[in-house]
Structure 1
Amino acid sequence: MNTHNNYNSFKTEKEGKGEMKISNTELQRYWFSFCQHVSCVAKTFFFLVTCLYRHILLRVHPLWIQIAYFMSLSFLGFCLLKLIQPRSSSTNSSTPIISNLDLFFTSVSASTVSSMSTVEMEVFSNPQLIVITLLMFLGGEVFTSMVGLFFIRLKLKTHQDKLATSSVSIPPITSVLDPFELEMVEVRSDQQPQNVKEPDNNDESSVVGNGEYLGYNSIKYLGFVVLGYQLVVQLIGVTMVSVYLSTVSSAKQVLKKKGLELFTFSLFTVVSTFASCGFVPTNENMVVFAKNSGLLMMLIPQVLLGNTLYPCCLRFSIWVLGKFVKKEESEYLAKNSQEVGYKHLLTREHSKFLLVTVIGFIVVQFLVFCSLDWDSVALEGLSWYEKVVGIIFQSVNSRHTGETIVDLSVLSPAILVLFVAMMYLPPYTSFLPVKKGKNGEGNSDQRKRKRRGILVENIKMSQLSYLLIFIFMICITESKDLTQDPLNFNVFNIVIEVISAYGNVGFSMGYSCGRRIKMEGNCENKSTGFVGRWSPEGKSILILVMHFGRLKKFNMDGGQAWILL
């Protein structure tokens, strides 16, 4: 009887184990089905994201992508600066209070590389200086153009995938839109899209290695050249500035007195100079280093290599690298600079004229400065050698960087007018003789643009028209101070501030309590820009001006519908 009961108990337990085994099998089947479902959803989501990306890349105007990029970067910078505490004053243990508008203004100024300031730079802590450095790096023209090259390459890859699956007409490289460049590359009327043939290893003019297109490889190679160019130039600059500051006692003493870390100052200043921003961690900008001619001479090449002479140096770098590596890609880039669609890669002839023009502008400013303000208060206390280096440094920075060794408010009015002209000119302004037959091509391109958006072309105004509107609006918002404090708040100072913000330079006349006519209330001189004394409405308008200046190349041909007779 007991044996029979044990047998039934064993049978029941065995059946239970069988049921458990079946349960595990079903659970595994359900889990496998769930993984397949998730995988299918993920693939669908990835496909939709890819389609959306391609739609944005091909359909959305580059202007809107640029606006979204710089606004997002500015807002991100504002959030980071808001989360990090500023440093305490050396005379007062309390932490300074910076308004949200001033923080956002600083973030916009750094991301658009404008260096317009509403607060003193020494109130920012070391982590905040690192954030501003990152904003200047990401907002610099060289970096954004490098990102644009990768976008062009991705689009060409998409075209190659289409070509591999179907025989369709693929547009040439010049029809590719670069969403991170400040212009839209267009196909000329005489460059109609042609059918692209299948890769042929025997045709070395169109392909190189493994059946890849030479144009695609060249753009990929150009992207890495730009990346290497940027990193090498700034790495050399940071190293040289760090060595100088650690060995020269006068410069080292300035950092110690102001409580600035040597490496942070070197990194911040070099990135700012190369990106043509002009921010310096000191309240006085480079005025405190006016006698450190060696430091100024180290920063002058950073100004030129990152801005006005960047196309010339980039073309030279490609030529030098082509002697050792990637000879076919280098030769393609040298011969087809316009077809690549990278606006910083100029033709050989254009690069030569740009070099001559940049040197010519520097010489003109140097001669005018020496003739008018050699013995002025601005250069008082400097030796003749320090004056020469300082004037060269000031002349180089007047184009787009905005670092200064003098108080602009004490300079001659003629020099200030010359600086305004230099700030207004685009960085690649050059004397380029017009060749015979160019006018016809220009008219053809103009007709094509008008066919695309004749309404937009008719509405767009010239750059000067927009600047006049901005100046008019600021004169309204600051009308009270224009009446009560005319020596500080005058139209000429406002014009300099607006043109400086438009050119993303950073020059400012500042504000002096000693120039007030009515000595009412407490007034404290601060080392900030003139905009620091403006109303919130005026600061908001200048934020628009900085963004407009950063995106001004979208409207370089505006105002053609207006005819002056």
Structure 2
Amino acid sequence: MKLEQLHNHNSPNKSFNHPITNFSTKSFISSLFNSIVLHANPLGLHICYFLTITVLGYLALKLSKPRTDYTPTDFDLFFTAASASTVASLSTVEMEVFSNTQLVIMFTLIFLGGEIFISLLGLQLRRSKLISSSLHKNRANSSIADQEQSIELGSVMFQKPVESDHDDETRLLHNSIKSLGYVVTGYILVAHVLGTSLVSMYISLTTNAKSVLENKGLVLLTFYVFTTVSTFANCGFIPTNENMIVFRNNPGLLLILIPFGLVGETLYPPCLRLIIWVMERYTKRKEYTYMLENYKELNYGHLMSSKECWFLVATVFGFLTLQFVTFCIMEWSSGVMEGMSSYEKVVGSLFQMANARHAGESVVDLSVVSSVILVIFIVMMYFPPYTSFLPIGYQQQEEDIQSIKSRKMYKKKNIIQNLIFSQLSYLTIFVILICFTERKSLKDDPLNFNVLNIVFEVISAYGSVGFSTGYGCKRRLKLDENCIDKSYGLAGWFSKEGKAILILAMFYGRFKKFNVHGGQAWRLI
């Protein structure tokens, strides 16, 4: 009887459903996603992602009408889309030219280009890879079981397979990544809701600040959300032409924005670890314990050890204190903060220095700031957000033995790469190319176009900061009656070739973590 059933099962005349005939569209899309996205190079994914949102943002800006009669050129709109998506915040068009719809498009690009949001997408991809790997393993095990069943049909009693420690570890890793995704999502939502609420509350209760926005004809809700999103993403775009200079006499608003700029970039790892520690203490869930003890297994670069977080906090506040003291010494009585009280000067200086690393918002005119401060800004903008001073002994403890052997094996190759393809090499190339494209302006207008200002602009684009020395018609050696001062940066006065090079610098700045082993060469001792 069993032989007859086996014969009928293998009979060619018996109809059966082949997997290909039942291959649904959903399965095809899922398979295509797994083969392209999950197995793609991370750098390639980042490039495709930023190019996609930049192009879509450009098209959306182009289809939307501006607020004024002036219509920006297509190249300036693309530059603006690239600057928003890379959170570089360099401008070639005055912000008040854009309509409310275009402002919404811009802060959407800023949100999508924010580092924390992109890291959340990376967590989801990591989780998808684990699921795909588990499914592949289960299918392989199922195929082996089917083969065994066909060989010993009806004579074997199958038992439930015993789960191995490796399966438990994989499940715990998957659950930890899932929980971490929830934590990061909550972090983003709470920051934006809280920031928008505080900004709106302050503006509503402060008559002069509210009147500024009403006189400019800006939609208040758009300003609240735009400012919060831009500050948290460390972009630097503000809907007003003057950036935050127009609010230099509102220290309350500046004090609200300072912490959101810090927790959105440089202090994100310490804040993230603190939240996970609190969750672990109160929930007692093993996923949070696993995150704290096995943070490297999660492959989430923003999750660091407690010692690294402490060193990072010390470095951030050390830089902030150094800049604050230097700025107050150099600019307290220089006229840069003219019209501000002593308290407003202290808060304004603190705000300016907190934005010098990556946020890019400004309460002073950088064109009249001393060269000493500009050089300090260049150094601060060049440093990555997680630059920290680590003791030599601690660095040696963190070194992996295999990486040391690999480094010795490819020592000559690494030396060549660091000499030829270092960060400074690329930045030097960008500066040289822009000096070449703007050589006529360098000759005819040396007070606005000089090497220091160009270096400042390139480093600002590379560091995704957005600081600019601007352009002043009164600084021209040959006065031109047709010259009209604009509130956008020096980049707005570049040629198309110079702007294109700045766009490359913006994108390169967002991809710099993929160079020099993820930025290890920047760690200071």
Question: So what's the TM-score if we normalise by structure 1?
Answer: 0.81
The one-letter code sitting in structure 1 at the alignment partner of 2:421 is M
Partner of 2:434: 474
Distance (whole Å) between structure 2 residues aligned to residue 397 and residue 503 of structure 1: 12
The one-letter code sitting in structure 1 at the alignment partner of 2:482 is N
Contact 1:273/1:302 (CA < 8 Å) preserved in 2? yes
Distance (whole Å) between structure 1 residues aligned to residue 141 and residue 113 of structure 2: 40
Contact 1:285/1:403 (CA < 8 Å) preserved in 2? yes
Residue 371, structure 1, aligned to residue 332, structure 2: no
The number of residues matched between the two structures is 484
Residue 346, structure 1, aligned to residue 304, structure 2: yes
Residue 122, structure 1, aligned to residue 102, structure 2: no
Partner of 1:199: 163
Of the three residues 95, 107, 110, the one matched with 1:136 is 110
Of the three residues 527, 533, 541, the one matched with 2:493 is 533
Deviation at 1:57, TM superposition (A): 3.5
| 1:167-190 residue CA offsets vs partner (Å, 9 max, x unmatched) | 69xxxxxxxxxxxxxxxxxxxxxx
Distance (whole Å) between structure 1 residues aligned to residue 417 and residue 60 of structure 2: 39
The one-letter code sitting in structure 2 at the alignment partner of 1:366 is F
Distance (whole Å) between structure 2 residues aligned to residue 284 and residue 463 of structure 1: 32
* Cα gap change, 1:226 to 1:198, in 2 (>3 Å): farther
| SS class of match (1:319) | helix
Of the three residues 488, 498, 502, the one matched with 1:542 is 502
Map 1:350-365 → 2, pairs under 5 A: 350-365=308-323
| 1:487-535 residue CA offsets vs partner (Å, 9 max, x unmatched) | 0010100000000000000000000000000123510000001000010
| 1:205-243 residue CA offsets vs partner (Å, 9 max, x unmatched) | 9739xxx71110000000110000011011100000001
Distance (whole Å) between structure 2 residues aligned to residue 126 and residue 41 of structure 1: 51
* Cα gap change, 1:313 to 1:458, in 2 (>3 Å): closer
Map 1:27-426 → 2, pairs under 5 A: 43=23, 45-88=25-68, 95-166=69-140, 199=163, 207=168, 213-325=171-283, 327-426=285-384
Distance (whole Å) between structure 1 residues aligned to residue 202 and residue 364 of structure 2: 22
* Cα gap change, 1:239 to 1:440, in 2 (>3 Å): same
Deviation at 1:542, TM superposition (A): 0.4
* Cα gap change, 1:537 to 1:42, in 2 (>3 Å): farther
Deviation at 1:52, TM superposition (A): 3.1
The one-letter code sitting in structure 2 at the alignment partner of 1:105 is F
**Where does structure 1 lack aligned partners over 5 or more consecutive residues?**
1-35, 89-94, 169-196
Distance (whole Å) between structure 1 residues aligned to residue 216 and residue 519 of structure 2: 48
Fraction of identical pairs, as percent: 50
Contact 2:123/2:300 (CA < 8 Å) preserved in 1? yes
| SS class of match (2:364) | coil
Distance (whole Å) between structure 1 residues aligned to residue 365 and residue 96 of structure 2: 18
* Cα gap change, 1:357 to 1:198, in 2 (>3 Å): farther
Distance (whole Å) between structure 1 residues aligned to residue 400 and residue 124 of structure 2: 33
The one-letter code sitting in structure 2 at the alignment partner of 1:68 is C
Deviation at 1:338, TM superposition (A): 1.3
Distance (whole Å) between structure 2 residues aligned to residue 279 and residue 395 of structure 1: 17
RMSD: 2.7
Contact 1:471/1:498 (CA < 8 Å) preserved in 2? yes
Contact 2:418/2:516 (CA < 8 Å) preserved in 1? no
| SS class of match (2:348) | helix
Distance (whole Å) between structure 1 residues aligned to residue 431 and residue 311 of structure 2: 33
Deviation at 1:450, TM superposition (A): 8.5
Deviation at 1:540, TM superposition (A): 0.7
Partner of 1:184: none
Deviation at 1:483, TM superposition (A): 0.4
Deviation at 1:58, TM superposition (A): 4.7
Contact 2:512/2:518 (CA < 8 Å) preserved in 1? no
Distance (whole Å) between structure 2 residues aligned to residue 520 and residue 296 of structure 1: 37
Partner of 2:459: 499
Greater radius of gyration (CA): 1
Distance (whole Å) between structure 2 residues aligned to residue 424 and residue 358 of structure 1: 14
| SS class of match (2:275) | helix
Deviation at 1:391, TM superposition (A): 0.6
Question: So what's the TM-score if we normalise by structure 2?
Answer: 0.87
| 1:275-314 residue CA offsets vs partner (Å, 9 max, x unmatched) | 0101000000000000100000000011011000000000
| SS class of match (1:96) | coil
Distance (whole Å) between structure 2 residues aligned to residue 457 and residue 558 of structure 1: 14
